[in-house]
């Protein structure tokens, strides 16, 4: 079984594109998630900079369209999917590994009220409508009941 779960922040805005498939055009969204590594207390105490791993994520069809619509650079996200590794040689001649995740599920973790809508995030929740004025309850004698003094009760 090849299933990976990562939680991290987007390093850039998602890119949505369309590719031709057997069934016509299919939406695909690509973005990168930075996942911080845990540090020991000694590393934090020594002031070492936190290290991160970077995962390229690909989401297809509706999942990709939603990711493109609601995610933006800096937002926290959880991604579940299968992972593959590819290698490439950089311009400096060093061989590097590239971790790619085919997303099966994406969960948006940044709260709605912590967003910048200009960067493509959620819209802030609308202000609630004022509550209607309460309607006074009818008096007991208006509903056919007779008021009883508690002193008259036998218990």
The answer to the question of residue 144 being in a domain is no
114 DSSP 8-state letter: S
The answer to the question of residue 138 being in a domain is no
The whole-number pLDDT of residue 148 equals: 65
CB contact at 8 A, 78 and 5: yes
- Chain segment 27-78, per-residue pLDDT in tens: 999 999 999 988 777 777 787 778 899 999 999 999 999 999 999 999 999 9
CB-CB neighbours of 111 under 10 Å: 10
Query: Token pair for residue 89?
Result: 């040689």
Q: Given a cut of 70, is residue 115 above it in pLDDT?
A: no
pTM here is 0.65
Greater confidence (81 vs 153) lies with: 81
The answer to the question of residue 34 being in a domain is yes
pLDDT band at 121 (very low <50, low <70, confident <90, very high): very low
Q: What Rg, from alpha-carbon coordinates, does the chain have?
A: 28
Cα–Cα distance, 9 to 54 (Å, whole number): 10
Q: What is the pLDDT averaged over residues 105-123?
A: 65
For the chain, how many structural domains are there in total?
1
The answer to the question of residue 60 being in a domain is yes
Q: What is the pLDDT averaged over residues 14-24?
A: 89
CATH number of the domain enclosing 82: 2.40.50.140
Cα–Cα distance, 94 to 147 (Å, whole number): 90
Q: Which domain holds residue 22?
A: 4-124
């Amino acid at each position: 079984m090849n299933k990976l779960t990562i939680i991290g922040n987007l390093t850039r805005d998602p890119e949505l594109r369309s590719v031709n498939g057997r069934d016509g055009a299919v939406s695909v969204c690509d973005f990168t998630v930075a996942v911080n590594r845990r540090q020991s207390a000694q590393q934090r105490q020594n002031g070492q900079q936190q290290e991160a791993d970077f995962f390229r994520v690909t989401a297809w069809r509706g999942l990709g369209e939603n990711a493109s619509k609601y995610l933006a650079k800096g937002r926290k996200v959880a991604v579940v999917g299968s992972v593959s590794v590819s290698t490439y040689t950089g311009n400096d001649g060093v061989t590097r590994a590239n971790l790619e995740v085919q997303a099966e599920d994406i969960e948006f973790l940044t709260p709605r009220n912590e967003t910048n809508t200009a960067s493509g995030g959620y819209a802030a929740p609308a202000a609630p409508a004022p509550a209607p004025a309460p309607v006074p309850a009818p008096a007991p004698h208006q509903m056919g009941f007779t008021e009883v003094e508690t002193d008259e009760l036998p218990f």
